[in-house]
Amino acid sequence: MAWFCERPGMSAPRPSEHACAGRSTPLRWTSHAKLGGHERNAMTLVPSRADLTVLYWLVVIASLSLALLAGPLVASAEAPRVGYLSMLSRSDPTLGPLRDAFQQGLREHGYVAGQTLIIEWRFADGRLERLPELAAELVRLKVHLIFTETTPAARAAKQATATIPIVFNPIADPVRAGLVASLARPSANVTGLTQMAPELDGKRLELFKEAVPAMTRVGVLSQPGVPSEATVRIMLEETATAARAARVEVQRLEAHRPKDLDGPFAALSRERVGGLIVLPSPMFLSERRRVVELTTKNRLPGMFFSREFVEAGGLMSYGPNFLELWRRAAVYVDKILKGAKPSELPVEQPTRFELVINLGTAKALGLTIPPSVLLRADQIIQ
């Protein structure tokens, strides 16, 4: 078969593309086939440039439409589904960066929310009584895994299912909270990360006393029952032991709800306490700006469990990097989705703690932080 170029008025087709080159007159391409010694016209195509342009864009639009229609179907049919359960609010500005870190960790393992992974978000907005129903809802959805934020959420998930894997983060004391049998050998379907390490609370007091040598009385603020009564008791005991060694008197203070925060600070002012240690609690982290404002108003140096307090104007913090904990939690999610059993994954404890100091706050309080403390700081905020 041969192709020829024909032009209106042309006596015979020319057997070469070059014969049609450089011409502006409309062309007609004709295919001729030889059969029995005679050439026979097999097919004639007469496309114009406008026709080709329209055809091209129709193909492009059709391809994009098919891709958009197919994408969500593939994600919903094949992507693993992960439940995210929290006792806090989705709009909480404190937790937003932490949840972003969790999703960043997932992306590092090839999971993109809405494409290769579906996240079912459930938030109790601070109402603990809502957690059981939210956990049951995730179970009914038959999610492949439940990721929990805070101890109450982890408890609710464990009570709702004994088969769906649960990854908690960051729990202060998962053993005393009844979530796992031991850190090395988690029980059944539950594992995750803890923010605690031996003697961490005692170390906070030691650093605080070294940074504020004149302090002889310190207030210790806790949220009763959070993360658990047993855990709060251990943290207070460790703090008290370190305080006795440093010859510092401890005054225990409590706040059950955000509206209870004013009372402890009024007591600190009356008792002329020289500093405040805030024990780990999701509520305190969520209310960190108000807590910092109250310490500033009462001219109290503060030692906190998270750098977010220092970034908000608190004096100093000592503890794990929470952004790193949330990112690391994605490692557990990835392993379980690939077939690992929670009981085979030991609870991970932080191995590195960061000391963050706000020198601007120290100056406002009239404090001079000793060089020995500044040299150990991982970050100094001016």
For the chain, domain boundaries = 2-46, 79-196+324-344, 200-319+353-381
SS3 339: coil
Nearest-Å Rg of the Cα atoms of the chain is: 33
Same fold, 79-196+324-344 and 200-319+353-381: yes
Residue with tokens 């492009």: 60
User: Residue 224: is the preceding peptide bond cis (ω within 30°)?
Assistant: no
| Tokens 């191995």, residue located | 351
Q: What are phi and psi of 42, to 5 degrees?
A: -95, -40
Classify domain 200-319+353-381 at the CATH topology level: Rossmann fold (3.40.50)
**pTM score over 0.75:** no
Backbone angles phi, psi at 333, to 5 degrees: -60, -45
DSSP 8-state assignment for residue 212: S
**How far is CA 149 from each of CA 80, 118, 123, 334, rounded to the nearest angstrom?**
19, 17, 10, 17
One digit per residue, the tens of pLDDT, for the chain of length 382 reads 444 444 444 444 444 444 444 444 444 444 444 444 444 444 444 555 655 565 565 555 655 555 444 443 334 457 999 999 998 888 887 788 999 999 999 999 999 999 999 999 999 998 889 999 999 999 999 999 999 998 889 999 999 999 999 999 988 889 988 899 999 999 789 999 998 876 799 999 999 999 999 999 999 999 987 777 888 888 999 999 999 999 999 999 999 989 999 999 988 888 889 999 999 888 898 899 999 999 999 999 999 999 999 999 999 999 998 899 999 999 999 999 999 999 999 999 988 899 999 999 999 999 999 999 999 999 999 8
Domain topology for 79-196+324-344: Rossmann fold (3.40.50)
Q: What share of the chain is helix, strand, coil (3-state, %, to 5)?
A: 40, 20, 35
DSSP H helices, the chain, are 49-78, 96-108, 131-140, 151-160, 200-211, 229-245, 262-271, 282-286, 288-297, 307-311, 322-337, 359-364, 371-374
b/e for 53-70, b at 16 or more Cβ within 10 A?
eeeeeeeeeeeeeeeeee
Task: Please give the Cα distance from 135 to 86 (Å, whole number).
Answer: 10
Task: Give every strand in the sheet of 166-171, ordered side by side.
Answer: 118-123, 81-86, 145-149, 166-171, 190-194
